[in-house]
Amino acid sequence: MPESDPLQPGSPESDALFELEPRAAETVGFAQLARLPLTELVAPDWAEALAPVEDALREVLAFLAAEAADGHEVLPPPSYLLRAFRQPLAGVRVLIVGQDPYPTPGHAVGLSFAVDGRTRPIPRSLANIYKELDADLGLAPRIHGDLGRWAEQGVLLLNRVMSVRSGAARSHRNRGWEAITAAAISAVADRRTADGGPTPFVAILWGRDAWSVRALLGTAPVIASAHPSPLSASRGFFGSRPFSQANALLQAQGNGTVDWELPPLP
């Protein structure tokens, strides 16, 4: 569907937005996303939480539509852009903050550090995450990078900046995403239980970009280390045991544990 084609709220195309497969992503464009109600872009409780920054989100979507209209490939594709917000806000148990999406076509899928399950080889940062997962919990590294199982268990894989121009790392920084993801992180931290206490969760912050959100997290337990990038993994990421630490902190708060094991194949 060309960028100029209309996509009306409530149409079969918009209703199917959450179910699109990667290869069907081109049926919806960024201009169409900008016209959809927030409740059709994200889970209902996320729509409520992000309402104060909806105008900023519309401006970012308009910018992405202009990028696409100028012939630039924007990653991730439209149907995956807001994927991190499709699992309910109420269910978030672990927050993992990334930087911005992989700039390689076919890699970015809207979840920080994840890639399409068919991508081979997986990015080196993700390979290092798997190495630490093996060292920490004894879980064998996978050949694929589909982290959807983590997201289904309440692991919010959130990039600080949620889009990028193909082949141009960091190209969409300072375009408005930072305010939107700051609001999202604050929404996670500000949740309250029935008795008024903070909703239990754990934040995992890898690298300087992630560390910058620490002030938004209130009293939540934080696991911070170097980024898993090959440039920094040996400077504090390896040996940090974030997965077992996260589970111990969740258990201490009475919020169960995450099964970090991924399927052998996506």
Per domain, the residue ranges of the chain are 12-252
- Identify the active-site residue in 100, 136, 146, 209: 100
Look up the pTM and report it.
0.90
What is the token pair recorded at 53?
Answer: 């920054």
What is the DSSP track for 213-249?
Answer: TGGGGTT--EEEE--SSTTTGGGTTTT--HHHHHHHH
Would you call 5 a catalytic residue per the annotation?
Answer: no
Residue 102 scores a pLDDT above 50: yes
What pLDDT was estimated at residue 12?
37
Tell me the pLDDT tens digit for each residue of 205-254.
999 999 999 999 999 999 999 999 999 999 999 999 999 999 999 999 99
Indicate the average pLDDT of the chain.
Answer: 91
What pLDDT was estimated at residue 11?
39
Residue 10 scores a pLDDT above 90: no
What pLDDT was estimated at residue 28?
80
Give the alpha-carbon dihedral of 222, 227, 228, 231, to 10 degrees.
-160
Taking CB atoms within 8 Å and a gap of at least 24, the contacts of 167-172 are 167/73, 167/103, 167/104, 167/105, 168/103, 169/100, 169/103, 170/99, 170/100, 171/103, 172/100
Tell me the pLDDT tens digit for each residue of 15-31.
434 443 433 334 689 99
Q: Round the CA-based radius of gyration of the chain to a whole number and report it.
A: 18
Question: What is the Cα–Cα distance from 211 to 266, expressed in whole angstroms?
Answer: 31
Residue 13 scores a pLDDT above 80: no
Helices 177-189 + 54-69 axis angle, to 10: 140
Residue 14 scores a pLDDT above 50: no
What pLDDT was estimated at residue 110?
98
What pLDDT was estimated at residue 8?
37
Tell me the pLDDT tens digit for each residue of 80-98.
999 999 999 999 999 999 9
Burial class (CB in 10 A: 0-12, 13-18, 19+), 70: exposed
Fold topology of 12-252: Uracil-DNA Glycosylase, subunit E (3.40.470)
What is the token pair recorded at 211?
Answer: 């560390």
